[in-house]
Amino acid sequence: MIASKRETVIGRILLILLMLWTLMPFVSLFVTALHKSGSYPAGVEWPADPQWGNFALAFQSAQMGALVWSSVQIVLGVVPISLVIATMAGYAIGHLRVPGHKLLLLLFVFGLTLPFEGIITPLYYQIRDFGLLNTRWAIILPLIGLFMPFSVYWMRAHFVNMPAELSEAAEVDGANRWQIFWRVHVPLARPALSSLGILLFLWTWNQFLLTVVLVNDPLKRTAAGALGAFQGQWGTDIPLLCAGSLLIMAPTLLVFFIFQRQFVAALLQGSMKG
């Protein structure tokens, strides 16, 4: 490969600038979080007397423990159910090719570009009529439905490439169709499933609109929804707001850094297919 020295250097500088552009906001947030609660510091300024206690204070007032547990419950409600039913549907549409599978696919694809704001109003009345307002179910049930277009599309893309011989061989061995699906096809779908799982986790954890409209209690919301409530409450105390925001973001960032390879791959694939 012919790469001139100058190009390499410019490339490196650009990369560093890009990283700075991404990270500077967090540096500013972190440094500000160390200033005295209630003060109004400059954008980036190391405090004379770092107030590490702000994090403890924010931890308490945001009720971090309860908040993370709430988000975890919502994720546990949304992700496993979505994965199972989307896999089943993707299998029927992509592999079994039930009569009308093209129409079914089209019906799901139609929902791919839907802005959630488009249906939030009737969704509110529907959830109210179900008696589920202000419960976590108000977030879990609609999210499963809203994630179906992407999830089914994604799993169908996997199953459409699976050779029919696979099922035929299993059938000769005497497996029934549920066993063929569960023992043969689901294990083979693991890579597709884990990427989808990561994406659904992120989208659930970060879901804001549904939580704002359907759930008043911040402790029954997602992390993003709780963050919104925290800003409403502490918006005027900038150091504390910064500390709280960092804390509420911390679990996501931690999970991201642990599984960074999988996350980056999933997000790139996700947008390519979506």
Partner 1 sequence: MSQPPAPSHPSWDRPSPHFGSRAVGARRGGVHKTSPRRGRWIGYLFVVPALAFYLVFVIRPIFLTVQYSMYDWNGVTRATWVGAGNYLKVFADPTLYGPVLNAFELIIFFSFIPITLGLVTAATVRRIAESRLAGLARTIVFIPQVIPLVAAGIIWSWLLASNGLVNQLLRAIGLGGITKAWLGDFGTALPAVGMIGAWVQLGLCTLLLLAGMSKIDGSLYEAARLDGAGPLREFFSITLPSLRQEIVVCVTVTVIAALSSFDIIYISTQGGPGNSTLVPGLQIFYLAFSENRVGLASALAVTLMVLVLAVVLPIQLLAREDNE
Which residues ranging from 94 to 153 are in contact with partner 1 (CB under 8 A)? Answer: 95-102, 104, 107-108, 111, 113-126, 141-142, 144-146, 148-149, 151-152
Q: Which two tokens stand for residue 107?
A: 């019906």
Interacting positions 36-65 with partner 1 (CB under 8 A):
40-44
Considering only 171, 194, 217, 262, the residue that binds partner 1 (CB under 8 A) is 171
Considering only 75, 227, 240, 243, the residue that binds partner 1 (CB under 8 A) is 227
Segment lying near partner 1 (by CB under 8 A), choices 49-57, 58-66, 187-195, 235-243: 235-243
What is the C-alpha to C-alpha distance for residues 210 and 214, in angstroms, rounded to an integer? Answer: 6
What is the C-alpha to C-alpha distance for residues 178 and 182, in angstroms, rounded to an integer? Answer: 6
- Here's the x/- map for partner 1, 73-92, by CB under 8 A: it reads as -----------xxx-xx-xx
Which residues have a Cβ under 8 Å from the Cβ of 153 and sit 6 or more positions away? 90, 105, 108, 109, 112, 273, 274
Which contacts qualify for 224-229: CB closer than 8 Å, 24 or more apart?
A: 226/62, 226/67, 226/70, 226/71
Measured CA angle at 104 (ends 101, 105), to 5 deg: 85
- Here's the x/- map for partner 1, 204-223, by CB under 8 A: it reads as -xx-xx--xx---------x
Considering only 53, 177, 188, 190, the residue that binds partner 1 (CB under 8 A) is 177
Q: If binding is defined by CB under 8 A, does position 247 make contact with partner 1?
A: no
Is the Cβ–Cβ distance between 200 and 44 less than 8 Å? Answer: no
Q: Which two tokens stand for residue 121?
A: 């109003």
User: Which CB sits closer to partner 1, 22 or 48?
Assistant: 22
